[in-house]
């Protein structure tokens, strides 16, 4: 798991799935790895649609209260 955020370019109107389980090999996006995790530990991805073409910071530490966006939670760890 990465502590710092992932800086990514989002495309207006495109759907995204932010990985919440930390297992994806395509971080910060979901690749379906959460389906291999035991049910009680499973963390479904956060689905969202970009409202505009924009560069954003997506959470890498998986602790952000503003998920999928970074809120600086990694600075507290």
Would you place residue 38 in the very low, low, confident or very high pLDDT band (cuts 50, 70, 90)? low
Across the range 14-21, mean pLDDT stands at 95
pLDDT of residue 40: 60
Q: Is the peptide bond before 73 cis (omega within 30 degrees of 0)?
A: no
Q: State the pTM of this model.
A: 0.85
Q: What is the DSSP string of 9-61?
A: EE-TT-EEEE-SSS--TTTTB--SGGGGS-GGG--PPEEEE-SSSEEEEE-SS
């Amino acid at each position: 798991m990465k502590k710092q955020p992932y800086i990514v370019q989002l495309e207006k109107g495109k759907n995204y799935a932010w990985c919440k389980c930390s297992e994806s090999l395509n971080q910060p996006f979901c690749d379906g790895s959460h389906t291999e995790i035991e049910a009680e530990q499973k963390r479904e991805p956060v689905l969202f649609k970009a409202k505009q073409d924009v560069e954003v910071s997506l959470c890498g530490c998986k602790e952000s209260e503003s998920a999928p966006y970074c809120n600086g939670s990694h600075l507290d760890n």
